[in-house]
Each structure stands twice: as C-alpha cells, then as structure tokens.
Amino acid sequence: MSESGVIHDIGYQRYTGPRLGPGHSARALYVHSVRSAYGLGRSPWAKVLPIGLIGLASLASLIIVIINSQLPEPVLDQVGIASTFTFAAAVFVAVVAPELVSVDLRTNLVQLYLSRPLSRSSYALTKVAALATATFLLFAAPMLIMFIGMAFSTDDGVPGVLEEFGALLLGLLAAAVHAVLLAALGLPIASLSGRRVFATGMIIGVFLLTAPISAVLSELDSGTIGRLAGVLDPASLLNGVDQWLFDADVSLVSIGSFGPVYGLVTVALAVLGTMAAVWRYKGMKS
Amino acid sequence: MNPTIIRLTARALLGRRRVLLLLPMPIVLIGLTLLGVSSEDEYVTPSDWGPLVFSNLGLAVILPLTALIVGSSVLGLEIDDGTITHLITKPLPRSEIILSKLLVAWLVTTGATALPLAVAAVIAGSGTLAVGLVVGTALGALAYSALFLALSVMAKRPVAVGLIYIVLWENLLVSFVDGARVFSIRQHATTIADAIGDTPLISSTLSVPTALIMVSVFVVAGTVGATRRLRSFALTGEAN
C-alpha cells in the first residue's frame, strides 16, 4: 500500500497491523452514515423520527394497496408513490441531512475525518451517497409493500405477479432519481451550518418556498413560462421527470412537451449540488 | 416579564449574521405579488393567484417557517449552548423566563411576517386585507411561537418535530382529513385574516370563534406546558 505522506501515529496507541486504505475508510463512513441516518446504533430517541417517517410512508402505502385492490382501476401506482411522497422525503432529508453533516461540524469531528487518509472530496461524496441511500430506502419500503400487496391480490397468476414486478422496478428507478436529487440538494445546504436548527430550516425553506413560486408562475401564464415554471421547485421538477420518463398518473405540473428540459435540469441540479458539497469541504480548515 | 432576558434573547437572535436567513422569504412574497398585479392576461383574475400568494405562501410557509426557526431558537439555542444553566440558576420564576422568551419570539416573528404580508396586500390593492393579514399573522405567530417554544423544552429535536407538524399535519393531513384543520394554526390565521379582510384574495373554512378559541388554547397550553417542563428541567448535555 503506497501511503507515504500519511501520518498514522498521532500520539495514541501504536498500531502495527495492516492498513486498509482510503477506500475502506470511505466505505466505513458510508455504512456508519446510512446507519446513523436511521438512528441505528443510537439512542431510541434518535430512531423515533426517521423510523416513524418510514413507518408512516409504509402505512400510507398499505392503505393505498387496500383501496387499489377494491377498485377496478388502481388509484396510485408505484411511480405515483414516488411523486406523491416527495414532500415526505423532503422532510426526511431536512431532518437527516443535518444529522449527517452538521453534527460533525459542530463537534469539530470533521477535522478529525479530514486529517486522516480519507480525502475531502470523498468525505463529501460519501455523505451525499449515504443521504441518497437513506432517502431511497424511504421510497423503497412503501413500494415493496405495495408490490407484495398487489402481487397477492392479482387475478392473473404468475404473469400478473411479473407485471407487478416490472412496475416495482420502474418505481424503484423513479425513487432513485428522486433520492439522488433530494440528497444532492439537501446535503450542501446542511453543510453550511453547524446548528441543526438552521440547517433544517434552510433545507425545508428551499422546498417550501419554491413550491408557491412555481405555482404562481404556472397560474399566471399558460404558455411556455407556465409549462417551465415547474423546474423552479424540486417537487414539481421531480414530478415532471416522472411524467416524462415513467408516464406518471399523478400530475402536479403540466409539462407539455418540455419533458427533456425537466430531465436536463434534474441532472444539472444533481451534479451542481454534489459539486457544491465537494467544494464546501475543499476549502475547509482542518 | 424580565427586561434583561428580553434584551439578551433579542440580541442573541438578531445580533448575528444568521438573521439574514429571514430576508429571502419577504422578498419572494413581494416579488410574486408584483408579478401577479402586473400580469396582463385577461383570463387571470386576482382570485387565481391571490390565495396562492397570501394563503399558500404567506400564511402556510413564511409564517410557520419563521415561527419555527425563531420560536425554537429563543430557548433552544440556550439549551444547546448550555447557557440555560445560568438562566435557571437565577432566582427568577420559570414563568417569567418563558413569558419573556415568548414575547421576543412573538415580536420577531410578527415583525418578520406581518410587515411584508401587509405590504404585499397593499400592493394587491386591498387595505382591509392588509389589516386582516396583520391581525391574523400576529395571532398565528403567537400560537406558533408558544407551540414551538414548548416543543423546544419538551422534545429532543424540536425543529424536526415542528417541521413534521407543519408539513405532515398542516399541509398533508388537513387536505385529506377535514377535522384535522381545527388543530391547524395556519387555518386559524387564515380564518381571522379572511374575516377581517373579506376579499377574494384569500379564502378560509373555519368559523372565527373556533379559530380564536383554538389560538388561545395553543397559547395557554404552550406557555403552561413549557413553564411546567422548565420547572423540572434536567440537563442531559449534548442532545445527540
């Protein structure tokens, strides 16, 4: 392992065994972050909110399954779940993202991370990935419940189950898009403040404040501007992507023929957000 | 009320750079109102965009969010920093501490929300709506401040709990379950503003007496609850 230039002996107990390298530290940090997002390995109080949110989402999905199985046409499909639960996921990001980065900042733990072989950019990328994974799980749990429920209530035997499985995969794909964008937006904002109060406030502020802006713009103009107003707010933007790529039934915005624009803005925002997170830690004193 | 606590709290809240966080919200509000007023499309009437700006943005986002940040930081920051020990070892009645904190939170929240809303209403051409919005916002801010202040002494993560109340209860549950709106401060503020304003720019569903009674229930329960909790407050250190 070529790790010259890394000072391992920082005055604590000597260690002469094998060193696992930066890849391993990134993986360890990732696993730790995903676990702490759900409060695993923490006190019961830390588990209440994330587990409660995922429980609520699962309960809502269970109710939808029961309604779906009673009606001839399902009221909400897998992609619909992704679109409808965006706000719950935004709350989840606002609650969890400060947990992942603000606490490290406030307790000066980030300096300890950054003084070890783990590089600054991989710290930032790992945290974004962990937040995206945690958010994806929030979408995946209700989708899985819906798949199980719909598979059991299908009348077409094995083809029916396979059809539901296809819908599940499509839903999970939509969930991944949602999770990546929400994480890439939430994490850099959270990393601005060491206080959870303000980090949470800023994240949810972005989501709540932009929604009426795009609503008013699309109300005032029914042409191009109105169709494009949805890109200004993450929930409508993601719904636009769902409509364009996955033919979502739920429509929060009318995207017209501007689907590709919604897709492009989503990709651009996700990349920009991730870059902002990396850039935030680049210049940090350690 | 204790002037020293009021002064110190106001300084801790307003004397830092983070007070600028409150600035974007009024700018967005007034900007959107100008956009709506200047719209030349004849199919667009004020009742199309009015509720979106005043109700969905002003009373549903700006008011609760400001109150959440302000209300949970007046006492929450002291708990976080540990300076609460200095406060509760002074020979002061707990109710005095809570009331002073509540006063600051209320004044700051009202100032930061009622003023821009009134300006926006005047731009939209309705003086009565401006008055209604100021009264509605002031009462809503009082109820929200009391609620979030109480949360900041009772819950481990007050902002997260408050956020869930705002987003899941007031925005999501209320649109599905009709009865939930009785416990939604946003609806109380909207009702009061609508009763005084009486324009198509805003619409409400509760009755005024219900709104007034529920607001006072929130204020009294929040204040009494926070005071009682602070009497037996245990310092647990960093709330991780």
Q: Do A211 and B35 touch (CB under 8 A)?
A: no
Task: Calculate Rg over the CA atoms of chain A.
Answer: 21
Q: What is the pLDDT of residue A51?
A: 93
Assigned token pair, B144? 């929200």
What residue has token string 């624009």? A261
Dihedral sign, Cα of residue A186, residue A192, residue A197, residue A203: negative
Residue B164 covered by a domain: yes
Residue pair A243/A224 in contact by the 8 Å Cβ criterion: no
Report yes or no: A208 at the B interface, CB cutoff 8 Å: yes
Q: Do A219 and B80 touch (CB under 8 A)?
A: no
| Residue in B closest to A93 by C-alpha | B160
Which of A278, A121, A74, A113 lies closest to A191 in space, CA to CA? A278
B76: which chain A residues are within 8 Å (Cβ-Cβ)? 197
Asked if residue B30 belongs to a domain, the reply is: yes
CA distance A111 to A124: 13
Q: Closest Cα to residue B142, out of B101, B173, B178?
A: B101
Q: Is residue B141 part of a domain?
A: yes
**pLDDT band, residue A286 (cuts 50/70/90):** low
Asked whether the beta carbons of B113 and B58 are under 8 A apart, the reply is yes
Residue B236 in domain: no
* Chain A: residue whose CA lies nearest to B26: A209
Check: CB of residue B99 under 8 Å from CB of residue B223.
yes
Q: Which two tokens stand for residue A241?
A: 């992507």
Asked if A188 and A105 touch (Cβ cutoff 8 Å), the reply is no
pTM of the model as a whole: 0.87
Model pLDDT, residue A130: 96
A213 contacts B28? CB cut-off 8 A? yes
Alpha carbon of A7: minimum distance to chain B alpha carbons (Å): 30
Q: Are B28 and A191 in contact (CB under 8 A)?
A: no
Considering only the beta carbons, identify the residue of A197, A204, A216 that sits closest to B35: A216
Residue B218 lies in a domain: yes
Question: A61-65, A128-132, B122-126, B181-185 — which one is most confidently predicted on average?
Answer: A128-132
A18: exposed, middle or buried (Cβ count in 10 Å: 0-12, 13-18, 19+): exposed
Weakest mean pLDDT among A55-64, A69-78, B152-161, B181-190: A69-78
Look up residue B120 and give its two tokens: 């926006």
| Cα radius of gyration (chain B) | 18
Q: Which residue has the tokens 């990393």?
A: A191
d(CA A284, CA A120): 9
What pLDDT score does A2 carry? 46
Q: Is residue B239 part of a domain?
A: no
Work out the minimum CA distance from A245 to partner chain B, whole angstroms.
Answer: 26
Q: What is d(CA A248, CA A238) in angstroms, rounded to the nearest whole number? A: 11
Any idea which residue has 């023929």 for tokens?
A257
The verdict on residue B240 lying in a domain is no
* CA neighbours closer than 13 Å in the CB half-sphere of residue B132: 28
Q: Which residues of chain B does A196 touch, with a Cβ-Cβ cutoff of 8 Å?
A: 157, 159
- The alpha carbon of residue B190 and the mean position of all alpha carbons in its chain are separated, in whole angstroms, by 12
Report pLDDT for B239. Answer: 47
Instruction: For residue B44, list chain A residues with Cβ-Cβ distance below 8 A.
Output: 219-220
Structure tokens at B7: 């002064």
Residue B161 lies in a domain: yes
Confidence check: pLDDT of A223 > 80: no
Count structural domains, chain B: 1
Q: 3-state class of A223 per DSSP? A: coil
User: What gap in Å lies between CA B42 and CA B53, rounded to an integer?
Assistant: 19
In terms of Cα–Cα distance, which of A23, A37, A24 is closest to A187? A37
| A181 confidence band (pLDDT: 50, 70, 90) | very high
CB B84 within 8 A of CB B116: no
Q: Would the CA dihedral through A151, A157, A160, A166 be positive or negative?
A: positive
User: Is A63 part of the contact surface with chain B (CB cutoff 8 Å)?
Assistant: no
Predicted confidence at residue B40, as pLDDT, reads 67
Tell me what pLDDT residue A173 has. 94
Mean pLDDT by 10 residues, chain B (240 residues): 89 82 85 81 71 84 91 87 86 92 94 91 84 92 95 87 87 79 88 83 81 93 93 64
The alpha carbon of residue B17 is apart from the nearest alpha carbon of chain A, in Å, by 12
Full residue range of the structural domain in which residue B71 is found: 3-231
Contact of B57 with chain A, judged by CB distance below 8 Å, is answered with yes
